[in-house]
Structure 1
Amino acid sequence: FKIIKLYIACGLYYLAEFVEEYTVLTRKIIKNATGVVVAIHILLWMFDDFPFGRIIFSVMCHGVYTLNLKTFPFISLTSIQFIASCVLVLIDHFLWFQFFTSHYFVFIDIAAFFGICIWLIPFAYFISLSANDNALPSYGSFINLLNYIN
């Protein structure tokens, strides 16, 4: 069990280093991954009859998460977008947990759904918070930051 903890810690460290080194690529990956997750939600609604209301709520949550990309990697912990994202990920998790407790699915299906559709994008933003302090500002990001402030 201790070795699993070590592997997880090493993986998180590697991801944090990757995000710090390649912030532009990380932004593109998060943006594309969000699109894939939204598409998965829609496909689950179309083919597996997942509840429409919860699907729409999850898609809306991912839309709010995407608002954090405007100033990426400089995400302010006190911004409305970040606070809303934190609240929405908890609500989204609770709503889907409630759904899966009242409908039978195999555990691996539930774990995969939560890992990919609920936690992947917020976790990517969480990992990228470390890049906020270590990223060097570039001219383009400086202009975007000035536009965001004004």
Structure 2
Amino acid sequence: MAVAAGLYYLAELIEEYSVTAKYVISWLIFGTAAIHLGLIIFEDLPLHLNMLGLLQQCIHWAMIRDFPVVKMTSFTLFASVINLVTHHYFAFKYFAIAYLPFSEVLGYFTICLWLVPLTLFVSLTANDYVLPTRGEKQPLLGDNNVVTDYLSRKANTYSLLSFFSYAKDSILPQRSKKAF
């Protein structure tokens, strides 16, 4: 419940302050890339793990350029998911062979693998409140009013924030106010 509440709060913050969120995510990408460069220089992790990590951060940088707009059919999103799965596979394979303390393995996975993708996943809800533009695809049967079309489609959208709102309303008990 605490993790869900934390993700809900982060999703609301990102929706409210999308410019600041882009700035923070950009610095997370640079920080993670710097950590991978530091691991190449100072640690004896395999080079292919760090190169996959650097490639992942380059893909994330390409994704963040159009923030908060994320196209679910874009090449960068597919490349990011494929690279993330590949990076996980090689990281699991390496850490199964090499003996390292659990805290170091968890630190590597948390900072180098999960931090930026998780923030990008939570930030997908920021796209819900982007104003419509004339460049969006219009339906064939409908009027050419951009705002009316956008608001009619808006009722049918599903996002992480709407899921957490539904979960909050249906799972958590509601306190009733006493009338005096």
Q: Same fold (TM over 0.5)?
A: yes
The one-letter code sitting in structure 1 at the alignment partner of 2:121 is F
Q: How does 1:1-150 map to 2 (within 5 A)?
A: 6-136=1-131
Q: Please identify the structure whose Cα radius of gyration is greater.
A: 2
Letter paired with 1:45: I
Distance 2:97 2:131 in 1: 48
Q: 1:20–1:135: 8 Å Cα contact kept in structure 2?
A: no
How many residues are paired up?
A: 135
CA–CA distance in structure 2, aligned partners of residues 11 and 78 of structure 1: 28
Q: What CA RMSD, in Å, does the superposition of the two structures yield over aligned residues?
A: 1.6
Q: TM-score, normalised by structure 1?
A: 0.84
TM-score (normalizing by structure 2): 0.71
User: For residues 31-64 of structure 1, what are the alpha-carbon distances to aligned partners after superposition, in whole Å with 9 as ceiling and x for unaligned?
Assistant: 1111111111111221121111221121011101
Structure 1: gaps spanning 5 or more residues: 1-5
Displacement over 3 Å in runs of 4+: none
Q: Secondary structure at the match of 1:71?
A: coil
Amino acid at match of 2:61: T
Higher RCO structure (Cα 8 Å, ≥6 apart): 1
In 2, the alpha carbon distance for the partners of 1:92 and 1:66 equals 17
Aligned residue identity for 2:57 = H
